Structure 1
Amino acid sequence: MAAAPVAPASAANNLVDEKAIIPSAVEIQNPEGRPQCFKSTTQEVLFVLTATMAIAMGAFLSGAVSVISASVGADLGMTTAEITWMSSANTLAGGAFLLLFGKLADCFGRKMMFVLSLFFFAVLSLAAGFSKTPIVLDVLNGMMGLMTAASVPPAQGLLGTIYEKPSRRKNAAFACFSAGNPLGFVFGTIFSGIASDLFNWRASFFLLAIIYLVFSALAMFTVPKDTTNKEPFNWTTVKKLDPVGVVLTIAGVGMFCAALSSGDTATNGWKTDYIIAMLIVGAALIVAFVFWELYYPHPLVPMSIWRDKNFSLVMIVLLFGMMAFSVAEFFLALYMQEVWKWSPLTTAVHLLPMAIMGIIVNIVAGMIMHRVSNKALMLVGCFGYTIAFTLIAVNTIHSSYWAFCFPSFLLAVVGADLEFNVANLYVASSMPVHQQSIAGSIVQTVTKLCQSVGFGIGTAVFNAVGRSAKEGGRWDVATKPYSAVFWFAAAASGTSIVFAMFLTIGTQGGKEKREDEDEGEGSGEAKQ
């Protein structure tokens, strides 16, 4: 169908008060040339790499934890719930505070928040390596999740401001940035596997601290000055921060995700009183947040953006995809250690193809997003996910790694990287310059929320099948609960195909093309 002759997400942009838009002080005369805020191409490359490490932060931590979970649990005498919370605490804290930090970055500046979040993440990682008790380790993982929430909005805000105009250069920068989330998990498992095999699980956190200490130092010199207008700290600005919306989103997302993460390991499972209470109250607060944002004059999230059909569909497709990817990769790493009895290092080595494939996919994505329909790219990503998780679902204890796991890894990365590239670029184009950090927060909040939902459902499926598993059939008793989780992932990613079919996104990042408006369309979906 022909697209309307406007820029992507124009339906959302048209609903934003144009007078309220603060113009960027970064002037780019040639969108394909190096932005003037960079003194050299080296500085530009290091900045984009540092921004990528910001979005990779949470995934890096989750990947590291996934390959040392068994070792940590044995060393500290942790229960299943305490082991699960190592990963859940990071996701929970990150998801609950993302919108707040996004608003703070847009109002008061991005560079300082960006640099400090990297530095304190390194400090907390170092402290986690010295943990002596399960509760201390879980709390520190939660605090590291808080730093991930503080790092992503300013990173994406800076990228969206510096690369404001559509261009292939912007596509390349966002392709690198988008790679951080899926590749962060992979490199986290690899680095953690090597460190723990050479020393012990504590070395994984020490290595994480070293990596982010280096990047926090790099950020001080490579991140250009944030020249967008800042808000003065007064009562008017406090009202613009939407304090009621902040409380509703932190409490709502926090309680809902905490219930999902703890439901299956609670005393009476999902029937436990406080789990039911948190689910109901959390969901009610999220609904209240939506209604509040519809009428508050300075909303934390402009609800008008959801009227853009493509914006909403992209978020839904991303939600189902990440729900499947996160839980499948976590349980697959656990499967390799618990069923195949592989060491953390062996597990990490076998996950290496994901990293290599991820680099290739992101390079290709940066080169073709302005030439190939982004709807087609999203569909390729959806099918890649679905086939990948179906392959590992039919895998058995006696199956060949090369026959099922290897192609599954490659296809899963294709799905993750293509979907993230399209989503990040489209969402950045949907918001004005002074709300670029909030744009990044929206994507990451959806991601964190769906990860929590995925882990909650995946853990419940795993435990339910594990309790009732009997001998017989294609899978042995040990493999059946894992296979059930992988089938859930395949079903979730398969559902995303239905929604992707209704997308009308054309190309992004090339020269704008005006086309005849299709009959009945004209709502705002377009090529860029």
Structure 2
Amino acid sequence: MSSQGDSTDQEVGVRAELAENEGYAQRPKCFSSTLQECLFVLTATMAIGQQSFFQGAIVGVTASIGKDLNMNPAEITWINAGSSLSSGAFLLTFGKVADTFGRKILFIIGMGGFSLALLIAGFATNAIYMDVFSGIIGLFAAAVVPPAVGALGAVYEKQSKRKNRAFACFSAGNPLGFVGGMIISGIASHEYNWRASFWALAVIYALFTVLTVWTVPADGFAKTPMTYEAFQRFDILGQDWLAGDAPDGWKTGYVLALFIVGFFLLVAFIYWQSIAEHPLMPLWVWKDRNFSLLMVIFVLGFMGFSAMTFYISLYLQELKKLSALEITLRLLPMVISGILVNVACGLVLHRVSNKILTGIGAAAYTAAFLILSFMKEETVYWAFIFPAIVLVVVGADIQFNVTNMYVMSSLPSHQQSIAGGIFNTVSKLCNNLGLGIATSVRSAIASQMIPSTPAIRPYLGAYWFAAAAAGLSLFFVPFLTLGTQGGDSEKAEEQSVIIVENKFANGKGAIPDSASEATPTLGTVVAEKQ
């Protein structure tokens, strides 16, 4: 009896271990070792963080760049806005390129081009030179994000705890990249000058370009030859309409005209995508209520995030007269907060309702911006800025993780780069939109100031805008119907059924762009499950 009992206990233990392993998932077969897998995730994280690294690097030295190159305030703003705009305008294009002609080669080109553009930008001699190369830097940042997201989504195709943790690390690229760029820039500019910040970042990405060749797996799908037929599937007209928007200041007549033209081009783009045979952006994904709500909530919060990070840095430079290194030290808690939040997300996405997590993120955003809105010039750092920068990272990282995971589950494996392109296009364009609105608010307040008006008043206007946008996002959270994401294979399979069911209940019943051939229908999924 004792022997039989021991055998039963042993069998139960083995089953428990197998169940745990099944939920965690095995290392993908495309990697020869765990080291290669970890370096791949790190490389993908550096790819998604390219734009953030650049913005973090310039945020502490914008005043120095402006002084050295004799730039006016509008030209200084375009260092940041130019890279975000060019990145957002071309993300969908590069998503289509990656899924059509191959991800790995575009990944390598994007990493190498970003490094080279940074190197050349470090030799800037005037405002036009700097602003143009900021746009080129954004272009290469756009080129690398879709293949990075697509490769990650293809490697970790099935829902699992391993996928949750890989995507949590990947999602850390944006917030940690921003602060990492500030640290590198702060040290380099303190020891040398602002140009050294660009060159230091160029060296780092040159090393990761080499690493990309080894760590990124070969494309696991049949690449389309570069033929005339392939370019017919590319939807060049849709790209032209998408890239037509050109935001600027509001005081001159041509700006309003371009804004109106840009609006109609955006409408034309959406209409064309609804009738195009091979669209850049499959519109049926927006018919999923959770998808649309998550994107709206993310946009409203991230608009404020971009405005806050830019103007808190400018406040520390212009009003507090701090050096780049001193600014870096004061914003360093964002790194620690970002690491902790992303680790926590990797552990709880499959345990806690993602609706609750999204609500926590929106509340953290709103609280952070409200704290800064009541700040005064003599304010103590620990009372206002410290809690605000910690909370804003909590909001950004939670919402980035939840939204990114859901978006990547909304398109089939052969369209993962397009999925990444959709998400990152929205994030980059809302980043630019948020900064543009905040700049307009700040300029409007500054133009009406009298000598007795506190110098901090225009900055508070930007923070109030951020608080209003984040507060609005709270009203959309109750309408979400999200549960958990990831977990063991059985739950993941059920989630896949629900996601496909949502697509077919709200969509056309067939996935455009040949996806119906590669992705099982609801009936097929259920049949396989049985």
* Cα separation, 1, equivalents of 2:267 and 2:241: 9
Does the residue aligned with 1:496 lie in a helix, a strand or coil? helix
SS at match of 1:35: coil
User: Per the alignment, do residues 35 and 53 of structure 1 end up closer, same or farther by CA in structure 2, a change over 3 Å counting?
Assistant: same
1:491 paired residue among 463, 468, 490: 468
Q: Which moved more, 1:59-68 or 1:231-240?
A: 231-240
Q: Provide the C-alpha distance between the structure 2 equivalents of 1:468 and 1:190, rounded to a whole number of angstroms.
A: 36
Unmatched segments (≥5 aa) in structure 2: 1-20, 507-530
1:231 has 2:208 as partner: no
Counterpart in the other structure of 2:4: none
Unaligned runs of 5+ in 1: 1-27, 264-269
Q: Which position in structure 2 is the counterpart of 1:365? A: 345
Length, aligned pairs only: 479
Q: Distance in 1 between matches of 2:65 and 2:334?
A: 25
The aligned counterpart of 2:85 is 92
- Evaluate the alpha carbon distance shift between residue 332 and residue 112 of structure 1 in structure 2; reply closer, same or farther with a 3 A threshold: same
Q: Aligned to 1:461, which of 441, 446, 456? A: 441
Quote the offset at 1:228 in angstroms.
1.4
- Cα deviation, residue 40, structure 1: 0.8
* 1:29 Cα deviation from its structure 2 partner: 9.0
State the match for 2:275 in structure 1.
Answer: 295
Q: Equivalent pairs: percent with the same residue?
A: 50
In the TM superposition, what are the counterparts of 1:158-237 in structure 2 within 5 Å?
158-237=151-230
The AA in structure 2 aligned to 1:371 is R
Tell whether the 8 Å contact from 2:23 to 2:487 is kept in structure 1 after alignment. Answer: no
Map of 1:505-516 to 2, 5 A cutoff?
505-511=482-488, 512-513=490-491
Whether 2:145 is the aligned partner of 1:152: answer: yes
Q: Give the whole-Å Cα distance in 1 for the aligned partners of 2:455 and 2:50.
A: 32
The CA deviation at 1:471 is: 6.2
Shift of 1:455: 1.1
Instruction: Give SS of 2:445's match.
Output: helix
**Alignment of structure 1 residues 247-286 onto 2, 5 Å:** 247-252=240-245, 255=246, 259=247, 262-263=248-249, 270-286=250-266
Farther-moved stretch of structure 1 (407-416 vs 497-506): 497-506
SS in 1 for 2:43: helix
* 1:421-444 CA distance string (max 9 Å, x none): 011110000001111000001011
Quote how far apart the aligned CAs of 1:463 are: 0.9
C-alpha contact 1:31 1:165 (8 A) present in aligned 2? no
- C-alpha separation between the residues in 1 aligned to 2:79 and 2:437? 17
Residues 288-307 of structure 1: CA deviation (Å, up to 9, x unaligned): 01111111111111111011
- Deviation track 1:95-128 (CA, whole Å, cap 9, x = no partner) reads 1111110000000110111011111111111111
Give the 3-state SS of the residue equivalent to 1:430 in structure 2: coil
Partner of 1:328: 308
1:449 CA drift (Å)? 1.1
| Structure-2 residue corresponding to 1:406 | 386
Stretches (4+) displaced over 6 A? 28-31
Once residues 74 and 437 of structure 2 are traced to their aligned partners in structure 1, the CA distance between those partners, rounded to angstroms, is 15
Verify the 8 A CA contact 2:23 2:161 in the aligned structure 1: no
> Which residue does the alignment assign to 1:23?
none
Deviates more, 1:507-516 or 1:157-166: 507-516
Matched, 1:378 2:358: yes
The 3 A distance-change label for structure 1 pair 428 and 53 is same
Q: 2:42 aligns with which of 49, 63, 66?
A: 49
For CA contacts below 8 A with separation 6 or more, give which structure has more relative contact order: 1
* Offset from partner CA, 1:16-48 (integer Å, 9 cap, x none): xxxxxxxxxxxx998611101011111111110
Mapped to 2, the partners of 1:309 and 1:183 lie a distance apart of 30
Kindly report which structure 2 residues correspond to 1:383-398, keeping only aligned pairs within 5 A, or say none.
Answer: 383-398=363-378
User: What is the aligned partner in structure 2 of residue 353 from structure 1?
Assistant: 333
Structure 2 Cα separation of the partners of residues 30 and 450 of structure 1: 36
Aligned to 1:109: 102
After superposition, the C-alpha distances for 1:146-188 in whole angstroms (9 at most, x for unaligned) are: 0011000000000000000000111111111111112211211
Match of 1:446 in 2: 426
Contact 1:31/1:166 (8 A) holds in 2: no
| TM norm structure 1 | 0.88
Alpha carbons 1:183, 1:358 under 8 Å: kept? yes
Q: Which amino acid aligns with 1:60?
A: F
Q: Find the counterpart in structure 1 of residue 17 from structure 2.
A: none
> What per-residue deviation string (whole Å, max 9, x for no partner) do you get for residues 483-515 of structure 1?
111111111111111112211110001134459
User: CA contact under 8 A between 1:190 and 1:351: conserved in structure 2?
Assistant: no
SS at structure 1 position matched to 2:60: helix
Equivalent-residue separation in structure 2 for 1:141 and 1:273 (angstroms): 25
1:119 aligned residue = 112
Partners of 2:307 and 2:465 lie apart in 1 by 9
CA distance in 2: counterparts of 1:436 and 1:31, whole angstroms:
22
Distance 1:486 1:30 in 2: 43
Partner-residue secondary structure (3-state), 1:318? helix
Residue 78 of structure 1 aligns with which residue? 71
Please, what TM-score do these two structures have when normalized by structure 2?
Answer: 0.88
- Asked whether the equivalents of residues 114 and 155 of structure 1 are also in contact (C-alpha less than 8 Å), the reply is yes
Distance 1:523 1:322 in 2: 30
Q: Which amino acid aligns with 1:491?
A: A
Q: 2:185 aligns to what SS in structure 1?
A: helix
Cα distance in 1 for residues equivalent to 2:72 and 2:160: 51
2-side partners of 1:129 and 1:456: how far apart? 25
Mapped to 2, the partners of 1:467 and 1:416 lie a distance apart of: 32
- 1:477 is the counterpart of 2:454: yes
Shift in CA distance, 503/30, structure 1 to aligned 2, threshold 3 Å: closer
d(CA) in 1 for partners of 2:374 and 2:23? 51
